[in-house]
Amino acid sequence: MITALKLLGVFVLALLTLVGCQTVRNSGNPPVPEPSPETLRFATYNVHYIILERDEGPWSRGDWERRKVPLALAFDDINADVIGFQEMESFARGGDGKINLALDWLLSHNLDYAAAAVGDPASFPSTQPILYRKDRLALIDQGWFFFSRSPDVIYSRTFNGSFPAFTSWAQFRDLQTGAVFKVANVHTDFRSRTNRLQSIALVAERIAPWIDAGETVFVIGDLNARLGSREIEMLEATGLAFAPVKGATVHFNRGINLFGAIDHIASVGNARLASGPYVIRRKFAGEWPTDHYPVLADYLLGPSP
């Protein structure tokens, strides 16, 4: 019995040491420089959905009241020209999807930004908006496709029948340089790798004509896949180059950094990584705004042909 307890103690100590080493390895919060006027700053941020029918507890309306000021402060710190959000949803069973507390909050406090990849929820899924700086960029086009065997059917279930997941996208023109580019904002299933691989294959299929046409394309979002994974390799095969994010981008809403980045920024075409990527790993106003960290990087874009 004593030997068993000793072995259990050794195991627990080894586990805690491993977790501690992983947390240190995947942590760090280097300062983010001010962006250069010649570059565009791209960012991705999973902000977690809000459960409208829950008054208290994690991700409830009450929890949103705790999170909303820290989220606004994080948004200010990111200071992006383009930022794609995932899980920006205020969920209620049977709801029409027109309530989006986080989106309305950020837009009302940042009048120099507008939202792309949004619309009437009956015809456009608006839970993955792409916010952009109005004085720098002009919106040209926008769209979506679902990770489904019927990708052009709104809210269609994923390949294995789980909750709908999708890519939102928007096309912009840089008012300063004339550069035109597209941003695909992706959020894949974290539970099922089979689902995730099929979803990434669909992303690769949908962006291939853009790339073949010589367009500049960014793929950003919560891919639930790390650099070196099959999912990332499938996207790299299209020509995308991933910004080399180091360390954790998800922290379980507790600042626990167990594994490498699953939130990414990638580009192909007339875009060059100029600075970053950066991960902002800290609380705001003493609180975690969400269970992910924001990821950002600065790019230099040439004029479109």
Alpha helix ranges (H) inside the chain: 2-25, 61-78, 101-109, 193-212, 230-236
Residue 13's identity, in one-letter code, is L
Residue 231's identity, in one-letter code, is E
Give the pLDDT score at 270.
96
Using CA atoms, how far residue 132 sits from 10, 91, 114, 136, 155, in Å, is 52, 24, 6, 8, 25
Please give the Cα distance from 26 to 108 (Å, whole number): 34
Q: What angle do CA 235, 236, 238 make, to 5 degrees?
A: 70
Q: Are 293 and 245 in contact (CB under 8 A)?
A: no
Q: In what order do the strands lie in the sheet with 271-279?
A: 113-116, 130-133, 82-86, 40-46, 295-301, 271-279
With CA atoms as reference, report the closest residue to 235 among 274, 209, 267.
267
Q: Is the pTM of this model over 0.95?
A: no
Q: Which CATH architecture has domain 31-301?
A: 4-Layer Sandwich (3.60)
| Residue-level pLDDT, tens digit, the chain, 305 residues | 556 555 444 443 433 443 454 555 566 777 899 999 999 999 999 999 999 999 999 999 999 999 999 999 999 999 999 999 999 999 888 777 899 999 999 999 999 999 999 999 999 999 999 999 999 999 999 999 999 999 999 999 999 999 999 999 999 999 999 999 999 999 999 999 999 999 999 999 999 999 999 999 999 999 999 999 999 999 999 999 999 999 999 999 999 999 999 999 999 999 999 999 999 999 999 999 999 999 999 999 987 65
Give the pLDDT score at 110.
98
Give the pLDDT score at 41.
98
Q: Are 26 and 70 in contact (CB under 8 A)?
A: no
Domains of the chain, by residue range, sit at: 31-301
Give the pLDDT score at 251.
97
